[in-house]
């Protein structure tokens, strides 16, 4: 008992000096920083966030993005939603994901600057807004083939289903009005 008190007092001295310390939550003992992976974070002046590239002229896409924006309103800066339909969209700023690539399928860039496409992109996006369970479900091996096929059908037909044509796959497009 006395040894634990001594360790606790020593630990308090370390904390008082402002030196990094890490504790095993099961016991009041100091562990080496190598076992404290949660304390080894890199800090930059720019906040790392997930970047979701979406088609702002797609009503289905916009509805989902608005819902996700609502979910992340208490997590500002966690997810940046980038509208690829805007004239100033520059794929070079987003890991080389061109307008054409982004129109072909969903792209999300994670905190580590890795580009995810298709169903994995949705999993990253959902995880970033607090729906990680949904992303894990979509990626679960019994469900994943169904998700891949369903998404492929959606991606192939979404322009037609939203009143736009093949001219939208290159350059910029607007909704047909006929």
Cα–Cα distance, 64 to 76 (Å, whole number): 18
pLDDT by residue, tens only, the chain of 178 residues: 444 444 444 444 434 444 333 433 333 333 333 333 333 333 333 455 899 999 999 899 999 999 999 988 877 778 999 999 999 999 999 999 999 999 999 999 999 999 999 999 999 999 999 999 999 999 999 999 999 999 999 999 988 888 886 666 555 665 444 4
Cα–Cα distance, 56 to 85 (Å, whole number): 6
- Residues pairing with 82 in the sheet: 53
pTM assigned to the model: 0.68
Cα–Cα distance, 81 to 79 (Å, whole number): 6
């Amino acid at each position: 008992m006395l040894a634990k008190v001594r360790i606790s007092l020593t630990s308090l001295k370390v904390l008082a000096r402002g030196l990094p310390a890490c504790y095993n939550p099961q016991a009041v003992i100091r562990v080496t920083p190598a076992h404290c992976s949660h304390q080894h974070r890199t800090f930059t002046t720019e906040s790392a966030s997930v970047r979701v590239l979406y088609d702002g002229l797609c009503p289905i896409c916009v509805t989902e993005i608005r819902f996700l924006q609502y979910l992340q309103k208490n997590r500002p800066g966690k997810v940046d939603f980038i509208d690829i339909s805007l004239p100033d969209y520059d794929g070079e700023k987003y890991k080389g994901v061109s307008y054409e690539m982004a129109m072909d399928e969903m792209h999300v860039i994670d905190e580590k600057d890795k580009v995810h496409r298709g169903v994995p992109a949705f999993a990253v996006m959902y995880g970033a807004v607090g729906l990680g369970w949904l992303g894990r479900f979509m990626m679960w091996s019994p469900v994943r083939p169904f998700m891949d096929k369903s998404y492929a059908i959606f991606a192939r037909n979404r322009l037609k289903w939203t009143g736009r044509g093949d001219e939208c796959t290159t350059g910029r497009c607007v909704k047909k009005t006929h």
